[in-house]
A and B are shown apart, each in its own frame.
With several copies, the nearest count.
Chain A
Amino acid sequence: MTLPSRSIVPISEVVHETPSTVTLRFAWAPAARPGQFVMVWIPGDDELPMSLSYPNGPMGGVTVKAMGATSRAIQTLRPGDRIGIRGPYGRPFDLTPRRVLVVAGGSGAAVLAPAAESARAAGHAVDVALGAVTASELLFRGRFERMGASTEVATDDGSAGRPGFVTPLAERLLEEHPYDAVWTCGPEVMMRRVADLADRHHVPVICSVERQMKCALGLCDACALGPLHVCVDGPVLPWESLRGLEEFGRSFRDPAGRRRAYGSAPP
């Protein structure tokens, strides 16, 4: 048993992707696959799981949306500031499907963009349904377009694309095209809805799931989701293994391990 150890790396680049989202690039070559995540330590503050938005090449990267104290603190980091990285952890996307529908809500695009990029690089077709609260918050819209994915958007406030949630957009695309797979990441209620739709079209769905994480090593049980541990069995999970879990989309575990219902605020 040899566990990969931690690296302390300086941030080489900070990219402000949207008003609430930054990408940190660092000279740490993750040798990871799209869908895998790392534990990012902000010394003096907390350590959080983050999907690698740039999983390959000499410069790793994560893309972080301001949520609570730590993810907001991350927005203020500058090049040269040092962070700790350990990983990569978890299971990646299976990149074999030849025609993929990507459904991204909020910061979900952080993990779906590199997966879509790899699919495109393999010559596969990718359609993207990208949602956000408002036009300026549409994450990686340009990146999806540049990789040659047909990209449609939806915003809650109607400031770009289809007004409202991204799910109706996904529904239309599912009706119009025959997909081999749907990849989705976003609030669990959204992913549940997407999965129901895809089910109706008999398209397999892969979700990237978030849970409280402490060890990321499959030990502490913080990330338990039914019998699964998101840090090792996920975060990328097929809908088949989620479908039967009444917790998925409905409740999560707080840091004490208590089960709590998802509130009205989007998680």
Chain B
Amino acid sequence: MADLTVELAGVPLRNPLLLASGIWGETGASMAAAYAAGAGGVVTKSIGAEPRSGYPNPTVEPLGPVGLLNAMGLPNPGIDEYPAEIEVARASGAPVIGSIFAAAPREFAALARRMAGTGVVALELNLSCPHAHGYGSEIGSDPRRVERIVRSVVAAVDLPVLAKITPNTADPAGLARAAERGGAHAISAINTVRALGIDVTLARPILAHGLGGLSGPAIKPVGLACVWQIFEAVRIPIVGIGGIASADDALEYLLAGARAVQIGTALSGPGVALFGTIARDLASRLDALGIDRWEEAVGRAHGRPPSSAVQQAPARLRRPSKPRRAP
């Protein structure tokens, strides 16, 4: 049976399947349940300095097989009350990664210190929520701000720091490099893709907030492209996120360069039992592919020409190497 254990920025995990931030992560009991069901670890809901109710409903819009649109508006109990939830999650044995959001480096650092005090194994910085004014991708798409924020957090705490970056950028690799320069220990990619749904009969956006973020099957190819590009740009490990619903989806991320993955939207329906299912499937898929340890295959799809050659080619068009003809 293939070995699923993985070390992520110094944190040992029994498997690479993590609960994504904002899914089942507001309460300790839910995080504990995710771990009991087979997750390798959990990421908390993104926590801020103050409690926030989030946007009014509708906060989500299901888009059939394409995925899910959401604009929750970062609801969270605030850092004063949240440690009690982490306590419950930790009691289950789960490695808990504390996600935080703030507007500026100093606030990030202060919040990080408090989050670090709760016993989490690592921090994830939400630099990527696409629909909260003044937070998330509004600050996280500027490489200099990303670098400054990461640097201030890394200086403030003694824990591994994961920078969660946005796909809504021309250059995900540039953002990842900025985070690496700031001292980040890993990159989480991706958050949701900026998106909108309009009701035609009412002539208005469906989500109360208007713009939202897309998650689920639609964004798997987008997340894979980001992880692929980031893998070619940084040396720190990558946590792949976006549209993962099966062992094969997780493997795609592994081969693109992810050392661990997070699962969110796909839990709708199967619930956290999906973690157990994917972990089992993953082990037998790795066996079938002749891979003994998950870790050994990180980024393997980069290893073979012509794909890697294409990636490393100078920035001009590569003509197909062989002449073509019509039949």
Contact = CB atoms under 8 A, between A and B. Distances in A.
Q: Do chains A and B touch in the complex (CB under 8 A)?
A: yes
Given A82-B202, A212-B324, A220 B27 contact: no
Contacts of A1: 65, 216-217, 245, 265-266, 268-269
A41 B58 contact: yes
Contacts of B326: 211-212, 252-255, 260, 267
A219 interface: yes
Contacts of B30: 221, 224, 227, 229
A125 interface: no
Interface in B269-327: 269, 271, 304-306, 320, 322-327
A254 B65 CA distance: 31
B76 A256 contact: yes
Contact of B60 (A2, A217, A232): A217
B52 interface: yes
Contacts of A267: 325-327
Nearest to B62: A3
Interface in A195-234: 210-222, 224, 226-227, 229, 232
Interface in B71-107: 72, 75-78, 81
B68 A3 contact: yes
Contact of A258 (B32, B61, B77, B208): B77
Interface stretch (A12-20, A42-50, A148-156): A42-50
Interface residues of A, number: 49
Contact of A212 (B23, B68, B323, B327): B327
B133 interface: no
A221 B202 contact: no
What does DSSP make chain A's interface, helix, strand, loop or mixed? loop
B24 interface: yes
A5 interface: yes
B201 A82 contact: yes
A253 B75 contact: no
Q: How large is the interface on B (under 10, 10 to 19, 20 to 34, 35 or more residues)?
A: 35 or more
A122 interface: no
B267 interface: yes
B42 to A, nearest CB: 11
A98 interface: no
Given A47-B56, A260-B326, A267-B326, 17 more contacts: A1-B217, A1-B268, A3-B63, A5-B61, A39-B57, A41-B57, A69-B322, A213-B57, A218-B268, A224-B24, A224-B27, A226-B29, A227-B32, A229-B24, A229-B271, A255-B53, A258-B78
22 contacts: A2-B64, A5-B63, A43-B202, A44-B306, A82-B202, A212-B327, A214-B54, A215-B70, A216-B60, A218-B269, A219-B268, A221-B30, A222-B75, A227-B33, A229-B24, A253-B326, A254-B53, A255-B54, A256-B75, A257-B27, A257-B75, A267-B326
Interface of B: 22-27, 29-30, 32-33, 45, 51-54, 56-65, 68, 70, 72, 75-78, 81, 199, 201-202, 204, 206, 208, 216-217, 245, 264-269, 271, 304-306, 320, 322-327
